Amino acid sequence: MDDRNMNRLLMQQVGRKFGSHEVLYSKYIPKIPASAEREYVRLTDAYMGILKEELEKELPRLKDVYRENREADMRENLRADGVIDGFLMAAAQIVHIIRNRVSAEIARYQLQRKMERIAQLNLRLTIKEWNRAVKSTLGIDIREDYYMGAFYSAQLEKWIQENAGLIKTIPEETLDRMQKIVYDGFTRGRSTVRMVKEIQQAYGVGRRRAELIARDQTAKLNGQIQQA
């Protein structure tokens, strides 16, 4: 059978499914690609793991600086500007060291390539689910490679660039929160134990936010591909 007759029969088959309706609701609800989401979560966990490792290296020194300056401040029995300024400078230097080490490790992490793999995995799984929806609703099969051409290249590239930038901000924002915790804790006279606990909580918040981004962005790309 030639292509023209095949297309005619296909249109008749699909037409019968629609009947008099302009919109046909799917008999199958495509699933969000869970394995792509898991890969994204693993990526963000690894990123936050880099921050955790560098933080743990410098946390003992930060605790010592915090405690020594706080004791000196208490001996003065008032808020001595020199003590506060000295502490702020020392703490800023430690945070700067952590920030530089994290940046250096992240630069070697090949983030772009990893994001590309996640995007392609999302595309393959989304198309697989979409084909199931078409099969169950229209009763026709779609070629495996039908949606795998250049049609989605610009869409995937935009998502990859946006998400690479998004992930890079997570350790930076977490470090900013930690630095603020240290400064506020010192000026308010909080104990070293409480300061460390709040830093650990800030890390937990950063990690949970990273995992939330992974879920949100996986669903976002999935929706964009389905719409296209």
pLDDT digits (tens, 9 = 90+) for 160-174: 999 999 998 999 999
Count of residues for the chain?
228
Closest-CA residue to 202 (of 86, 95, 65, 61): 95
**182 in a structural domain:** yes
Is the residue at 207 inside a domain? Answer: yes
> Is 186 part of a structural domain of the chain?
yes
Q: How far apart are CA 124 and CA 120, in angstroms?
A: 6
Q: What average pLDDT does range 221-228 have in this prediction?
A: 88
pLDDT tens digits for range 75-94: 655 455 666 778 888 999 99
Domain that holds residue 57: 33-227
Overall number of domains in the chain: 1
Residue 17 forms part of a structural domain: no
In the chain, the percentage of residues whose pLDDT exceeds 90 is 48
**Is residue 5, in this structure, part of any structural domain at all?**
no
Assess if residue 79 is contained within a domain.
Answer: yes
61 assigned to some structural domain? yes
- 61-74 in b/e form (b: 16+ CB < 10 A) is ebeebbeebbeebe
Residue 214 CB contacts under 8 Å (≥ 6 apart), including other chains: 37, 40, 41, 43, 44
Please give the model's pTM, rounded to 2 decimal places: 0.82
